[in-house]
A and B are shown apart, each in its own frame.
Chain A
Amino acid sequence: MPRSLRQAATNLAGLMDQLDTVLARAPEQIASASDLDALAAVETELVGRKSVVAQVRRSLGTLAAEERPRVGAAVQAAAGRLEVLLAERRSVLEREAEDRLLEDDRVDVTLAHLELGQGTRHLLTSTLEEVADIFVSIGYQVASGPEVETAYYNFDALNTPATHPARAESDTMYVDFGDPRDEMLLRTHTSPMQARYMEQHQPPVYVVVPGRTFRADTLDPTHSPVFHQIEGLAVDTSITFTDLKGTLHYFAQQFFGKDQQIKLIPHFFPFTEPSAEMHVSCFACDGSGCRVCSNSGWIELMGCGMVDPNVFEAVGYDPAEVSGFAFGVGAERLAMVRHGIRHIRHFYENDLRVLGQFV
């Protein structure tokens, strides 16, 4: 064996020994790197240009052909092993580094540094919309009409005699407008739209009319000079009293809950015949009697009835051909009953502490 080869063989044997030593020490060395910088230094030492692995690779060319595969495979395996160990450690250190950053980013989430403000719709508006939607669900349309109205539509067309006390200035607010022969007023109910709507449409008519109404009242727990109603009108070739009853029961169940009972009690209105007052079973006590219903088990909710033939005649419908029912309910009443509101002023003070409760 020539001397040079012998020397090379001796060196190789030493390098291979060193490689074993490196491999044996590497896990501990890598694990002891406490951050990414330290790990980079370890990486240079283990697999860098001056590392044992690099030296062995460089010496491969000097080896005898029959030795090369064995040594090549050994150094490849050693390098691969070291890369895996380094990568595992790097991933751990990277995660730890990010965790530290995130920990530094910690805030007190229980304090609000930003409030996204969204306003609320007024309870009376949402009540009227809800009632309208209930009737839309059974095929009704929705209409609205003027608030400054003529005495003709507010009273005459609705079969209200000229002597009716509701026309008195103690009940109705009149306004100074236009031709003095046309008595002009702030509508006292949404019912004038019955006449207006029928004048403009041919039967079948299924319509609800939400809107603002006025009476010469002073503010007390249940009265306000301004209030809101929703009117209902159904006119067709065969509308009957049982339809009125069924429709109002459907409404009550949709609005108050499916167990809601209703009761119709005879009453009198100039523009309906027969007329009725609709009562609902008290939801506060399920009808057994409590403070909400004055111990009667029932709560008076609205006026209703079959459209009087005189109203049909006033709008040019033939009362022998069509029949219909109408009802009018106060939005304040509905909301007060459903939400336990005991003073009507809560609707008109616009206190955000109140408005914000109804979303």
Chain B
Amino acid sequence: MKVSLSWLSEYIDLPTTDPADLADALAGLGHEVEGYEVLEPAFRGVVVGKVLDIQPHPDADKIRVCTVTTGGEPEQIICGAWNFSEGAVVPVAVPGAVLGKDFEITRRDIRGVTSNGMICSSVELGLGDDADGIMVLDPDTPIGDDFAKHVALPDVVFDLSITPNRPDAMSMIGVARDLAALYGVNVRWPDVVVHPIDEQLTVDVSIEDPVGCRRFVAREVRAVELGDSPQWMQQRLRRAGVRAINNIVDISNYVMLELGQPTHTFDFERVGGGAIVVRRAKAGERLTTLDGITRELTEDDLVVADAAVASSLAGTMGGEDSEVSPTTHHVLVEAASWDPPTVLHMSRRHNLRSEASARFERGVDPNLPLLAADRVTQLIAELANGQPLSGVADVYPTTEQPHPISLPIAEVERILGIPLGADEVAGLLRRLGMEVSGDDPIEVQVPTNRPDLTRPIDLVEEVARLHGYDAFPETLPAGPGGGLTTEQRRQRRLRSVVEGAGFSEALTFSFHGTTELGMLGVGPDDIRSRAIEVKNPLREEESLLRTTLLPGLLKATRFNTSHGRRDVALYEFGKVFYDEEAPELTVVPEQPDHLGFVAVGALQGRPVDVYTATAVWRLVARQMGLPAADVASAHVPFLHPGRGADVLMDGTVIGFVGELHPAAARAYGLTGRVAVGEVAVAPIVRQPGLWELTEPSLFPPVQFDLSFEVPDTIPGGAILAAGRRAGGELVERIELFDEFSGGSLPEGVRAVGFRYTLRAPDRTLTNEEMGPVRASIIEAARQAGATLRGAN
């Protein structure tokens, strides 16, 4: 909401007009200042003048010669505008005046006639956008006055963001009321007086739905003359960000901004003889609203209707048929109190957010409509020559009273942490217009303009707000400790391990488009095909929640390669989501943490391939102290059929590693081998068992190499495992030192060489002892399908 200082000052005498101080004060009250603009006049030396005489120009048809007084001797001024006549009071830029930055007004000849200045339009004065005519001022503006002060310049406009709990502050009076409470001064309400003619109004109001409509006030004004509203009103509306339309609409808007009560004006002739009914709409009933849209109504909509048809959507927008128009003479003024949820739903349903609905859906004081109706009536009489009829139709089934809250003084200190006595608390609340009685607890009567205050805690907040958040001291409580859990520490360690291997952490979105899983080649039997759908995605790319981290990582990899990076290694640690019954007694779906990685190009100086992927898992297993971690050749749909593996922990598959299938790589725009992997985090970071030190042996190791011929159908890992089993506790290490095929080897067979390191904890191993051990390792390998090379 835009609040101009000049308008605000009509309701409060502020102790300061410094914009920065006022901005701080407003923010301190909880009205966020999104910015403020200092308005300076875009002119100098412009004064109020009166046109005494107008003559045609002897040599030009489109301009006229005006005789104008600015308090002294009348002078002649040439003017091209035609929207005024003799007697008009106008802004005059006299010789020496400056418009804009540097347009200096001088005496000059215009087609042979001297012009001693210029009569100005609002555009020329930087005050508006009406270039068609000059500004015509109120006739009683004092001639010769400095024009600037009649358009309230200089001025400051604050752009406030009023929080949704404070509908009472969505007006000049409301803001003034808060500032008055802060500064301890009074609010000056407008003097609302209606002088009716001697004729009773005839409107008849009935409320069929007292839930939706808490109060309906109507007045009638006759003989209304539609026209422009006066400059001062247009100026105030403009600075509040509201466009001037005509005097009737402007008055309604003006009163809404002034008091916070939206009102509506109908053409009385067009609301069926003034029999007003407030009712729910009939299903299928239609209403064309002021924006020209014909809307089909539902039984949840609340309408103001005449005997036959709906005339407006309650509190939201008026109807086109009953709109005040140039032919209107008789105006019906409505000021009502609408049920906030009803208006909220209506404005949502019809996608119709108006200044009125914004206030009603938050809650407008039901004791305000009568004042607002009178204020509108008063202004129509003053500014549109209207004649108010006697009487007011005021249907108010249940009068809203201030509501009581009992506040124990100790509660204030318990929540705020500072000892404020009953007197101080009561004093602060009274400044907000509350009646306070009693000592402890104090009994507080909350005025009806504050629907947000219903509980003691709400009053505590008001006390804190007026006391000023800045005035509170600071204290620092400490919790009982405990820090990170073992699992949380191991999660961080897991990240560090993967980072140590050369992978950088990526964060990608948790959703992807519907084609993504197809690009990977995930089939319907795969758990990864069971993606949860987003109901209201803004974009196609947000349609499904991810079941694997790969799509995001592959796209991030592609982003980097497409920006000229050859070697890319990324990992992500994040949740995936499966559309299946949650395993525990919780309604949310399973959403385990996964760790995924992708590498292309080279990593640690070596071209990336499947062994990059298995090495990552081996490193993780080693560095995280995982027992029984392994890989097993497996078919994973989006992996290279010969270069993919399941990741195993204690025999359970917890993920996959391998090379991405070339088709999937192509789908993501990646070339060359792509190492990928993804594992569930939970089994990795689970607290490991405690272990004791294994004393390093003081005795020398025995090393020997064995080379086997192994059919391609037998995994080398099986030969390795066989050796480990056969060697038992003596085995310290078994390393691969060679693997090759071709040459003299038969088709389908490769040679694999291992270096065995054996060591005993308590003795030097002798040749006699090693002979049988070596033989049993060879035998175990033979049983696993390998043949010792060079043995025959």
A positions within 8 Å CB-CB of B: 114-122, 124-125, 129, 132, 136, 138-142, 146-150, 163, 165, 168-169, 173-179, 182, 184, 186, 204, 206-207, 212, 214, 216-218, 225-226, 234, 236, 238-243, 245-247, 249-250, 263-268, 273-277, 294, 306, 308-309, 323, 347-353, 355-356
Contact = CB atoms under 8 A, between A and B. Distances in A.
B628 interface: no
B480 interface: yes
12 contacts: A119-B499, A142-B484, A163-B340, A178-B587, A216-B536, A225-B542, A240-B418, A241-B417, A243-B476, A265-B28, A268-B166, A350-B560
Contact of A122 (B345, B415, B507, B575): B507
Interface in B686-704: none
B460 A355 contact: no
A175 B560 contact: no
Interface string B446-477: 00000000010110110011000110111111
B537 A266 contact: no
Interface string B699-729: 0000000000000000000000000000000
Contacts of B28: 265-266
Contacts of A276: 469
B348 A168 contact: yes
Contact of B416 (A184, A216, A226, A240): A240
A183 to B, nearest CB: 10
B60 interface: no
A125 to B, nearest CB: 6
A205 to B, nearest CB: 8
Given A124-B507, A238-B414, A356-B504, 15 more contacts: A114-B605, A119-B503, A120-B499, A120-B505, A139-B479, A173-B537, A239-B477, A242-B417, A243-B475, A249-B474, A265-B32, A266-B30, A274-B464, A274-B465, A294-B35
Contacts of A267: 30, 32, 163
B535 A119 contact: no
B589 A177 contact: yes
B743 interface: no
A174 B575 contact: no
Given A148-B545, A216-B538, A242-B472, A117 B483 contact: no
B292 interface: no
B714 to A, nearest CB: 34
Interface in B145-193: 163-166
Contacts, number: 250
Contacts of B465: 266, 274
B571 A226 contact: no
Contacts of A214: 510
A265 B27 contact: yes
Given A225-B542, A241-B416, A355-B504, A174 B477 contact: no
A269 to B, nearest CB: 9
B460, B479, B509, B582 — which one has the most chain A CB atoms within 10 A of its CB? B479
Nearest to B569: A119
Contacts of A241: 415-417, 464, 472
Contact of A175 (B545, B563, B575): B545
A117 B604 contact: yes
B417 A149 contact: no
B583 interface: no
Interface of B: 27-30, 32, 35, 163-166, 340-341, 344-345, 348, 413-418, 455, 457-458, 460-461, 464-465, 469-470, 472-485, 488, 492, 495-496, 498-510, 532-539, 542, 545, 556, 559-560, 563, 565, 568-571, 573-575, 577, 579, 582, 586-589, 591, 603-605
B589 A178 contact: yes
Contacts of B492: 129
A119 B32 contact: no
A250 B476 contact: yes
A176 B32 contact: no
A93 B333 CA distance: 116
A309 B414 CA distance: 13
A268 B164 contact: yes
B319 to A, nearest CB: 25
Contacts of B481: 139
Contacts of A247: 476-477
A352 B536 contact: no
The 10 closest A-B pairs by CB, nearest first: A206-B479, A240-B417, A139-B479, A266-B30, A117-B502, A246-B474, A268-B163, A242-B417, A274-B461, A350-B556
B682 to A, nearest CB: 12
A50 to B, nearest CB: 47
Contact of A148 (B457, B460, B573, B577): B577
A142 B488 contact: yes
B401 to A, nearest CB: 24
Contacts of A243: 417, 475-477
A227 B587 CA distance: 24
Contact of A119 (B504, B560, B574): B504
Contacts of B498: 119
A225 B538 contact: yes
A219 to B, nearest CB: 9
Given A125-B495, A268-B163, A138 B604 contact: no
A141 B479 contact: yes
Contacts of B35: 294
B507 A125 contact: yes
B29 A266 contact: yes
Contacts of B591: 146-148
Contacts of A273: 457-458, 460-461
Contacts of A186: 510, 534, 545
A276 B604 CA distance: 50
Contacts of A274: 415-416, 460-461, 464-465
B509 A141 contact: no
Contacts of B344: 163
Contacts of A309: 455, 457
Nearest to A141: B482
A349 B556 CA distance: 6
Contact of A212 (B413, B414, B574): B574
B720 to A, nearest CB: 28
B338 to A, nearest CB: 14
Contacts of B416: 240-242, 274
A223 B277 CA distance: 46
B505 A352 contact: no
B575 A147 contact: yes
A118 B502 contact: yes
A121 B493 CA distance: 11
A234 B163 contact: no
Contacts of A207: 479
Given A121-B499, A177-B589, A350-B559, A163 B341 contact: yes
Nearest to B553: A350
B510 A177 contact: no
A190 B539 CA distance: 24
A351 B510 contact: no
A206 B166 contact: no
B162 to A, nearest CB: 9
Nearest to A306: B415
Contacts of B539: 218
Contacts of B165: 268
B478 A117 contact: no
Contacts of A268: 30, 163-166
A242 B509 contact: no
A310 to B, nearest CB: 9
A136 B414 contact: no
A344 to B, nearest CB: 11
Interface centre among B30, B480, B588, B604 (most CB of A within 10 A): B588
Nearest to A116: B604
B654 to A, nearest CB: 20
B141 to A, nearest CB: 37
A132 B417 CA distance: 26
B588 A149 contact: yes
